[in-house]
Structure 1
Amino acid sequence: MKKTLLAMALTLPLFAVQQNLSLQRALEMVKENNLEVKVAEKNVLMKEQEHKAAVGYNFGSLDLVVNALRSNDAGNVFGFKLQSREASFADFGFDQFLAPMRQALMLANNNALTQQDLQNMNVILAIQPDKLNYPDARNHFQEKIQYKIPLYVGGRLMKYGEITDKMTTISKLDRQKILNEKLFETRKTYYNISLVENFIKNLNVILKNVEELEDTVKNMVKEGYALDIDLLQVQTKKADVLRMINQAKLNRDLAYQYLSFLVDDKVDSIVVLDNDVPMPHMKRDEMLARNIDIQKAHTGLEVTDLAIGVEKSKFLPTVGAFAEYGSADNTFLNDFTDKDAYTVGVQLKWNLFNGFVDKAKYEKAKIQNMKMQEQVELAKKGIGLKIDKIITSIKSKDYDIQSLREKVKYTKKVYDNYYSRYKEGLMAINDVLIKNSEHIQAVLNLVKTRFERNNKVFELENIINKGIL
Structure 2
Amino acid sequence: MNSLVRTLILLGVYLVALSPTKADESVGFPEIWEKVKTNSPSIKAKALELRAAEIAKENSDMHWLPRIYTDLRNYNTNDPGLNFQGKLGQRAARESDFSTLSVRQRPSNYLDSNNLPYQNLNANSLNIAAKDTLNHPGSNTYSRGTLGIDVALYEGGSKSNLSKMKQKIVEGNRYEVSYIRKKEYYEAAVAYQSVRNVLEAKEGIERLIKRIDQFSKFYKIGASGNPTEYSGALAIKSLRLKLEAIRGDYLSRGQAAIEMLKLLSGFLPDKFTPSADNNINFSEKYLPYPKSDSNVNTSLSNAYSSYAESALIGVDTEKARFLPKVGAYAEAYAYDGNRSTATSYNTGIYLQMNLLNPSDIGAVKEARTKSDAARKKADEIRLKEESNFRVLLFQEETLKKNILLALDSLKTQEEQLDLSLRLFRTGTIHSLQLADVFGKTAESLISNVNLNSEYLKIRAELNMYSNLENYNE
Aligned residues: 434
- Residue pair 2:389, 2:462 contacting (<8 A) in 1 also: yes
Report the counterpart of residue 147 of structure 2 in structure 1. Answer: 145
2:351 is aligned with 1:342: no
2:289 is aligned with 1:280: yes
Which one is further off, 123-132 or 444-453? 123-132
Deviation of 1:61 (Å): 2.2
- Indicate the SS of the match to 1:59: coil
Q: 1:391 aligns with which of 383, 390, 393?
A: 393
Unpaired segments of 5 or more residues in structure 1?
Answer: 1-17
- Residue pair 1:216, 1:423 contacting (<8 A) in 2 also: no
Deviation of 1:23 (Å): 1.6
Which one is further off, 242-251 or 445-454? 242-251
Amino acid at match of 1:264: G
- Indicate the SS of the match to 2:57: helix
Structure 2 vs 1, CA of residues 453 and 233 (structure 1 numbering), >3 Å: closer, same or farther?
A: closer
- Residue pair 2:103, 2:130 contacting (<8 A) in 1 also: no
Deviation of 1:62 (Å): 1.5
Report the counterpart of residue 179 of structure 1 in structure 2. Answer: 181
Deviation of 1:162 (Å): 0.9
Deviation of 1:138 (Å): 2.0
Amino acid at match of 1:427: I
Q: 1:204 aligns with which of 200, 203, 206?
A: 206
Which one is further off, 302-311 or 236-245? 236-245
Amino acid at match of 2:304: A
Q: 2:81 aligns with which of 52, 75, 86?
A: 75
Distance 1:72 1:233 in 2: 105
Structure 2 vs 1, CA of residues 368 and 230 (structure 1 numbering), >3 Å: closer, same or farther?
A: closer
Which one is further off, 384-393 or 294-303? 294-303
Report the counterpart of residue 7 of structure 2 in structure 1. Answer: none
Report the counterpart of residue 167 of structure 2 in structure 1. Answer: 165
- Residue pair 2:68, 2:149 contacting (<8 A) in 1 also: yes
- Residue pair 1:324, 1:343 contacting (<8 A) in 2 also: yes
- Indicate the SS of the match to 2:427: coil
TM-score by length of 2: 0.80
Unpaired segments of 5 or more residues in structure 2?
Answer: 1-23
Report the counterpart of residue 12 of structure 2 in structure 1. Answer: none
2:300 is aligned with 1:293: yes
Alignment of 1:300-379 (within 5 A): 300-330=307-337, 339-352=342-355, 360-366=362-368, 368-370=370-372, 372-379=374-381
Report the counterpart of residue 7 of structure 1 in structure 2. Answer: none
Deviation of 1:301 (Å): 3.3
- Residue pair 2:172, 2:304 contacting (<8 A) in 1 also: no
Distance 1:351 1:136 in 2: 40
Structure 2 vs 1, CA of residues 353 and 123 (structure 1 numbering), >3 Å: closer, same or farther?
A: farther
Instruction: Describe the superposition over 1:187-231 as per-residue Cα deviations: whole angstroms up to 9, x where unpaired.
Output: 111111111111111122222322332333159979xxx978876
- Indicate the SS of the match to 1:452: helix
- Residue pair 2:109, 2:128 contacting (<8 A) in 1 also: no
Distance 2:149 2:168 in 1: 30
TM-score by length of 1: 0.80
Structure 2 vs 1, CA of residues 308 and 102 (structure 1 numbering), >3 Å: closer, same or farther?
A: closer
- Residue pair 1:180, 1:465 contacting (<8 A) in 2 also: no
- Indicate the SS of the match to 1:58: coil
Amino acid at match of 1:153: E
2:53 is aligned with 1:47: yes
- Indicate the SS of the match to 1:284: coil
Instruction: Describe the superposition over 1:305-327 as per-residue Cα deviations: whole angstroms up to 9, x where unpaired.
Output: 31232233334321022211231
Structure 2 vs 1, CA of residues 78 and 281 (structure 1 numbering), >3 Å: closer, same or farther?
A: closer
Q: What percentage of residue pairs aligned between the two structures are identical?
A: 16
Distance 2:229 2:318 in 1: 91
Distance 2:176 2:315 in 1: 24
- Indicate the SS of the match to 2:69: strand
Report the counterpart of residue 406 of structure 1 in structure 2. Answer: 408
- Indicate the SS of the match to 1:173: helix
Bigger fraction of residues in helix: 1
- Residue pair 2:232, 2:434 contacting (<8 A) in 1 also: no
Distance 1:186 1:267 in 2: 15
Amino acid at match of 2:397: K
Report the counterpart of residue 219 of structure 2 in structure 1. Answer: 217
Deviation of 1:377 (Å): 4.0
Alignment of 1:48-197 (within 5 A): 48-93=54-99, 108=113, 113-116=114-117, 128-197=130-199
Instruction: Describe the superposition over 1:57-89 as per-residue Cα deviations: whole angstroms up to 9, x where unpaired.
Output: 432322221101112333322221111222122
- Residue pair 1:143, 1:328 contacting (<8 A) in 2 also: yes
- Indicate the SS of the match to 2:153: strand
Amino acid at match of 2:312: D
Structure 2 vs 1, CA of residues 339 and 163 (structure 1 numbering), >3 Å: closer, same or farther?
A: same
- Residue pair 1:101, 1:124 contacting (<8 A) in 2 also: no
2:449 is aligned with 1:461: no
2:30 is aligned with 1:24: yes
Which one is further off, 191-200 or 270-279? 270-279
Structure 2 vs 1, CA of residues 368 and 251 (structure 1 numbering), >3 Å: closer, same or farther?
A: closer
Distance 2:374 2:230 in 1: 75
Distance 1:65 1:35 in 2: 45
Which one is further off, 172-181 or 187-196? 172-181
Distance 1:228 1:311 in 2: 84
